[in-house]
Structure 1
Amino acid sequence: MAETDRAKRRRPLVSLYETIAGDEDARACKDIPEGACRAQPRNFVVHLVANTLSKIGDELASARLVLAWLLSALGAPATFAGFLVPIRESGSLLPQLFVAASIRRRAIRKGFWVLGSALSGIAVAGMAITALTLEGAAAGWAIIALLIVFALSRGINSVASKDVLGKTIAKQRRGTVMGYAASAAGFFTLALGGYLTLASLDDAGIGLFAALLAASAGAWWIAAAVFARLHEDPGATEGGINGFGEALRSLRLLWSDRAFGHFVLTRALLMSTALALPFYVLLAEDATEGALATLGLLILASGLASALSAPVWGRMSDRSSRGVLVLSGGLATLLGFVVALGSWFAPAASGLLDTGWVHAVLFFLLGISHAGVRLGRKTYLVDMATQETRAAFTAVSNTVIGVLLLVGGLFGLLAQLAGTEFAIFVLALMSLAGALSAWRMKEV
C-alpha cells in the first residue's frame, strides 16, 4: 500500500520530466547507478528548480552590476567597487582547487551544495542589512567582507554541483537540465530589468536594494531546501585530486610549454573585460544621478548581451577560438577608448553619457565582449590540451588567474585617485594588449 502511494506521488514528477526532457522512458540511463536511474525524474526536477533559484539568487546579488550600483548609492569610495569582480571571481575559483579532493572523499555529497547555498543566503542577507544601516566606507568594508563569504560559498557549490549532477542525472540529460535552468533564470532577469525600467521607483531608494538582496537570500535558502530532497546514492571516494597541489606541481608548464604560457598571458590580459564592468556601472549611476530606470536598462542589457551573443561566439569559437579572443578584446578596447577619450577631449559629445539608454548600449557591447572572451578562452584551452594535459592546464591557469584577479582589484584604487574614466582607459589598454597577444597565438 505504501509503495502504491509513493508511485502515485511520483507520477506528476515523471510526467513533468518526460515533458521537459522529451524522454519517454524515465529509466533509460546507462552511466548512473540503478537507484539514481529510478529516481531520475525526481532528481531532474530537483536540479532544475534548485539551479534556477541559485541562478536567480546570483543575478539579484550580481557583483558587477547590483552591488556596484549599491556601493555608489551608499557613497562608498570607488576603491571598493574595483574589488567586487576580483573577489567574486577569484573567491569562487580558488577554493575549488582546495576543496574538490575533500568533497570527493565523501560518499554522499549533496550536503556540500546545501551548505554552500545556505551560507550564500546568509551572506546576501547580511548585505541587505548593511544597505539599510551603513553608509560610505563602512558599508564598503561590510559588503566586501560579506562578498568574500558569498564567493567562497559559491566555490563549494560549484564543485559539489558538478559532482552530484554526474551521479544523479544521465549523460544525455545533464545539458538539458542546466540549459532550462539558465533559460528560466535569464527570463527572470529580463523581466526584472523591464520592471525596473518601466516602473516609477525613483523614490524607492536603498530600500529597493535591500528588497532585491533579501529576495536573493530567500532564493538561496529555498534552493538549499529543495536540493536537500535529492536522491543520491553513495559514490566512489577514491581518486580525488588536490587541484592546488596539481597546479604547484605543474607550474613549470608556464615556461616549458610556450603555447600554454602564451595562452595564460592572453587570458590574464583579457581579464580586463570583466574588471571593467563595475566601472561602467559607476559611470551610469553617477551620470544619471542614481535613476533606477537606468539600473533596469543595464540589467536588460546584461541579460540580452549573453543571450544573443553566446550562440554566435560559440559557433565562431568552433572555427577559430583565437579569432574570437582577438575580436572580443578589440571590442572592449574600442569601447574603453570611446568612453575615456570622449569624456576628456569631446565634452559636448560626452554629454550623451547623461542618457541611460547610451549607458545601456555601452554595457550591452561590453557584455558581448566579455561573453566572447569567456567562450573563446574556454574553447581554446580545451582544443589546445590533450587528454593527458587537460587537468594540469586547467589547474595551473585557474590558479594563476585566481591570484591575478585579486591584484586586479587595485584598479578600484586607481579609479579613486585618477577618476573612473582613467581606470576604464587603462583597462582598455590592457584589452588591446590581450587582443594583440591573442593575434600572435597559434590556431588550434
Structure 2
Amino acid sequence: MQTAFETLTSDDDGRVCKDISDKACKEQPANFLRHAAALGLSKAADGLADPKLVLAWLMTHLGAPAGLVGLLVPVREAGALLPQLFTAARIRAMGQRKWAWVGAAVGQGIGAAIILLAALTLSGVTGGLVILAGLALVALSRSVASVAYKDVLGKTIAKTRRGTVTGLAGSGAAAVTLGFAAVLMVFSDARVVIVLVALGLAALAWAAAAGIFAGLSEERGATDGGANGWRAAIENLRYLREDPQLARFILARGLLTSTALAPPYLVVMASGAGGAALEGLGALVAASALAGLVSSYFWGRLADISARKVLILTGLTGAVALALALGFNAAGLAQTIWALPLALFALALSHQGVRLGRSTYLVDMAPQDRRAIYTAISNTVIGVVLLASGIFGALAALAGPQATLTLFALMAITGAWVAYGLTELAEA
C-alpha cells in the first residue's frame, strides 16, 4: 500500500504530512486507497444512473410526461444540496463521521434499486413519479455524504494529497462510464436492457463503497456544537459575514454552476422539437465520460498546486465551450453527428475541473473545526441557485436556448473573474 500510495502521489516520502495528526499520517497510505476505491465506486454509480442523460432517456422511454423529465436535474441537484445546512451540525455531533458517509452510500443504493424496480414494473406518470422518488432518496443521501466526506477527507488525507485522491477516483469512475457508453453504442438495439443492468450495477456499487469506507481509519473528532435544527442553521449563516473569502467562494461557485446547467440546453438546441438527440444516448454518455477520464487526475493534481487557478481556468474553459456550441449553431452544424458530442465534451472538461477545484479549495480554506459547516453553507446556497434553474427553463422557452447558453457563458466568465479575487491558498 505504501508503494502504491507513493506511486499515485509521485512522492519520494509518502509520510510527509500537512494538516493531519501523526496517527492519521501513519494510516494515510491505506486510507488513501480506501478513499480512492469507495469514492470511485460512488462516482461510477453516479455515471451509470446519470439523471441528465440516462434517467432522462429512461423516463422518456417509459412514456413519462416531459414535465416530470424536466424535474430530474432540479430534484437531483437541489435535493443533494439544500438539506446540508440542517444536517451539518448533526454530523458534527458524530465522533467518527465516516459512518454518516457509509449510511448515505447505502441510502443511494436503495434509491437506485427503487428506480430499477419502477423501470421494470411501471410506466407513464406513475413510473415517472416513482423514479423521481427514488432519485430524491439518492439526492438526500448524497447531501449527507457530501458534508461528511469533506470532513473525513480533511482528517485522514494530508493537504497536498486531497485533490489527487478525488481526481484518481474521478478518473476510475469515468473509465467505467466510458465502458458503459461503448456498450450502449455497440449494442444500441438493446439500450433498455443495458440501462436496466446499469441501474442494478449502480446499486451494487454504492453498497460496495459503503463496505470499503467502513474500514477507513478515522480518529474521533470534536463533537461540541452538534445541535441540529433551524436555529443552528441560521446561526451558521453568520460565517458569510464573518469570512469574506467564504462569501466570495460561494459567489464564484454559484456563477460556475453554469457548467452543470448548460448540457440540457445544448440538447435542446441540437434536437429542436423532435427530441432526436436522445437517440444518441451512447455518444452523449461517451463524451461526458471521456472528458472525466482525460481530465480528472490532471485537475486533481493542479488543484493540489492551486485550486484557485483551477476555478479560474475552468470558468474560462466553460465559456469557450459554450461559445463553440453557439458558433456551431450559427453555422448550421448543431444537428450534425459530431457537433453536439464535441460541445458536451468541452463543457464536461470544464465542469469536471469546477467540481474538483471547488471541493479542494473549500477543504483547504476552511478551519479544521468548521469544514462540515462551511461545506453545508456553500452547498445549501448553491442548492437555492439550482432550484432557480426553472427560471432558465422559462427563458429558454421564451427566447430560445441560444439566449440561455449565452447567459451561461457570461456567468462562466464572471465566475472566473470572481475566483481570480480569491486568496491563493497554495502560498499560505
TM-score by length of 1: 0.74
CA distances 1:260-285 after superposition (whole Å, capped 9, x unpaired): 98886675455333222134346569
Distance of aligned partners of 1:163 and 1:295 in 2 relative to their CA distance in 1, 3 Å threshold: same
Question: How far apart, CA to CA, are the structure 1 residues paired with 2:68 and 2:366?
Answer: 40
Of the candidates 233, 242, 258, which is equivalent to residue 244 of structure 1? Answer: 233
Q: What corresponds to 1:190 in structure 2?
A: 178
CA distances 1:31-61 after superposition (whole Å, capped 9, x unpaired): 6556545544443332232122111111111
Question: How far apart, CA to CA, are the structure 1 residues paired with 2:350 and 2:154?
Answer: 31
Distance of aligned partners of 1:443 and 1:292 in 2 relative to their CA distance in 1, 3 Å threshold: closer
Question: How far apart, CA to CA, are the structure 2 residues paired with 1:122 and 1:149?
Answer: 8
Question: How far apart, CA to CA, are the structure 1 residues paired with 2:366 and 2:359?
Answer: 14
Question: How far apart, CA to CA, are the structure 2 residues paired with 1:380 and 1:231?
Answer: 24
Deviates more, 1:115-124 or 1:294-303: 294-303
Question: How far apart, CA to CA, are the structure 2 residues paired with 1:380 and 1:40?
Answer: 20
CA distances 1:293-343 after superposition (whole Å, capped 9, x unpaired): 43454344543574598489979986696686456335425524754xx5x
Distance of aligned partners of 1:308 and 1:286 in 2 relative to their CA distance in 1, 3 Å threshold: farther
Aligned AA for 1:206?
Answer: V
Q: What corresponds to 1:353 in structure 2?
A: 335
Q: Give runs of aligned pairs for residues 123-134 of structure 1, distance below 5 A.
A: 123-134=111-122
Question: How far apart, CA to CA, are the structure 2 residues paired with 1:42 and 1:316?
Answer: 25
Q: What corresponds to 1:208 in structure 2?
A: 194
Q: What corresponds to 1:115 in structure 2?
A: 103
TM-score by length of 2: 0.76
CA distances 1:81-119 after superposition (whole Å, capped 9, x unpaired): 433333322222223322222112121222111100000
Distance of aligned partners of 1:317 and 1:51 in 2 relative to their CA distance in 1, 3 Å threshold: closer
Q: What corresponds to 2:87 in structure 1?
A: 99
Q: What corresponds to 1:328 in structure 2?
A: 318
Deviates more, 1:173-182 or 1:124-133: 173-182
Distance of aligned partners of 1:303 and 1:371 in 2 relative to their CA distance in 1, 3 Å threshold: closer
Q: Secondary structure at the match of 2:279?
A: coil
Of the candidates 267, 272, 277, which is equivalent to residue 258 of structure 2? Answer: 272
Distance of aligned partners of 1:136 and 1:429 in 2 relative to their CA distance in 1, 3 Å threshold: farther
CA contact (8 A) 1:313 1:375 kept: no
Q: Give runs of aligned pairs for residues 172-321 of structure 1, distance below 5 A.
A: 173-197=161-185, 199=186, 201-238=187-224, 244-246=233-235, 248-249=237-238, 268=254, 270-281=256-267, 286-287=275-276, 290-303=279-292, 306-307=295-296, 310=299
1:407 is aligned to 2:388: yes
1:159 is aligned to 2:147: yes
Q: Secondary structure at the match of 2:67?
A: helix
Deviates more, 1:181-190 or 1:101-110: 181-190
Question: How far apart, CA to CA, are the structure 1 residues paired with 2:108 and 2:347?
Answer: 27
Q: What corresponds to 2:33 in structure 1?
A: 45
Q: Secondary structure at the match of 1:52?
A: helix
Distance of aligned partners of 1:266 and 1:335 in 2 relative to their CA distance in 1, 3 Å threshold: farther
Q: What corresponds to 1:5 in structure 2?
A: none
Distance of aligned partners of 1:19 and 1:204 in 2 relative to their CA distance in 1, 3 Å threshold: same
Question: How far apart, CA to CA, are the structure 1 residues paired with 2:202 and 2:141?
Answer: 14
Question: How far apart, CA to CA, are the structure 1 residues paired with 2:17 and 2:293?
Answer: 35
CA distances 1:177-224 after superposition (whole Å, capped 9, x unpaired): 333322322332333333333x2x122132221111111110000111
Query: How far apart are 1:398 and its partner, in Å?
Result: 4.0
Q: Secondary structure at the match of 1:48?
A: helix
Question: How far apart, CA to CA, are the structure 1 residues paired with 2:198 and 2:218?
Answer: 33
Q: What corresponds to 1:430 in structure 2?
A: 407
Query: How far apart are 1:428 and its partner, in Å?
Result: 1.7
1:75 is aligned to 2:63: yes
Distance of aligned partners of 1:53 and 1:250 in 2 relative to their CA distance in 1, 3 Å threshold: closer
Distance of aligned partners of 1:50 and 1:337 in 2 relative to their CA distance in 1, 3 Å threshold: same
Structure 1 residue runs without a partner (length 5+): 1-12
Q: Secondary structure at the match of 1:145?
A: helix
Q: Secondary structure at the match of 2:275?
A: helix
1:61 is aligned to 2:49: yes
Q: Secondary structure at the match of 1:231?
A: coil
CA contact (8 A) 1:325 1:377 kept: no
CA contact (8 A) 2:20 2:155 kept: yes
Question: How far apart, CA to CA, are the structure 1 residues paired with 2:20 and 2:130?
Answer: 44
Q: Secondary structure at the match of 2:32?
A: helix
Aligned AA for 1:150?
Answer: V
CA contact (8 A) 1:65 1:281 kept: no
Aligned-residue RMSD, C-alpha: 4.4
Aligned AA for 1:329?
Answer: A
Aligned AA for 1:290?
Answer: E
Distance of aligned partners of 1:150 and 1:336 in 2 relative to their CA distance in 1, 3 Å threshold: farther
Aligned AA for 1:401?
Answer: I
Equivalenced residue count is 412
Question: How far apart, CA to CA, are the structure 2 residues paired with 1:106 and 1:91?
Answer: 23
Question: How far apart, CA to CA, are the structure 1 residues paired with 2:102 and 2:363?
Answer: 30
Q: Give runs of aligned pairs for residues 1-20 of structure 1, distance below 5 A.
A: 13=1, 16-17=4-5, 20=8
Aligned AA for 1:404?
Answer: V
CA contact (8 A) 2:319 2:409 kept: yes
Distance of aligned partners of 1:396 and 1:14 in 2 relative to their CA distance in 1, 3 Å threshold: closer
Distance of aligned partners of 1:233 and 1:98 in 2 relative to their CA distance in 1, 3 Å threshold: same
